[in-house]
């Protein structure tokens, strides 16, 4: 999901609980198909998503739907009103599977309405949604470097 994340064979084998040989076969297939790009650092071969691949957008959209982000946007963000930006943090921003969606929401947020929308979205997608909200002024003081992994921009007001 995070096109900026790079991963290596053993790390993926550990994350998925699969043998390194099985992971290697799939990584090689994806690289041969052009879906992944690789680079070497020392004795490790790192893989990243090829964002220029013609199917990258489609695969990305499928992942968004699988994780439930499309429903979070539709059922929460679009109905909330005065939202500037929404970021994904936590495991999902690191490219790890999780039953919890961590969000950082910036804007003029009606928190009681947000709670109601979040509860409804959680029921619909069968995942827990944790969130933190910042006003526009508070957002100016966010220490972005304090995050273990850079938050991913999920949604931004384009008006």
Contact 92, 151 (CB under 8 A): no
Q: pLDDT below 70 — which residues of the chain?
A: 1-4, 60-61, 64-68
Please, what are the domains in the chain?
A: 7-56 (1.10.10.10), 68-156 (3.30.460.10)
- Residues in CB range of 138: below 8 A, 6 or more apart: none
Per-residue confidence (pLDDT) for residue 68, from 0 to 100:
67
């Amino acid at each position: 999901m995070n096109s900026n994340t790079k991963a290596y064979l053993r790390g993926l084998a550990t994350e998925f609980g699969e043998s390194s040989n099985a992971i290697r076969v799939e990584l090689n297939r994806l690289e041969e198909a052009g879906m992944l790009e690789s680079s070497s650092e020392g004795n490790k071969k790192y893989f990243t998503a090829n964002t220029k691949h013609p199917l990258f957008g489609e695969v990305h959209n499928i992942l968004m739907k699988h994780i439930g982000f499309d429903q979070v946007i539709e059922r929460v963000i679009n109905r909330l009103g005065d939202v500037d930006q929404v970021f994904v943090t936590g495991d999902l921003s690191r490219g790890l599977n999780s039953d919890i969606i961590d969000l950082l929401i910036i804007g003029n947020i009606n928190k009681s309405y947000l709670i109601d929308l979040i509860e409804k979205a959680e029921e619909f997608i069968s995942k827990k949604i944790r969130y933190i909200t910042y006003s526009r002024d508070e957002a100016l003081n966010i220490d972005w470097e304090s995050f273990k992994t850079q938050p991913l921009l999920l949604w931004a007001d384009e008006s």
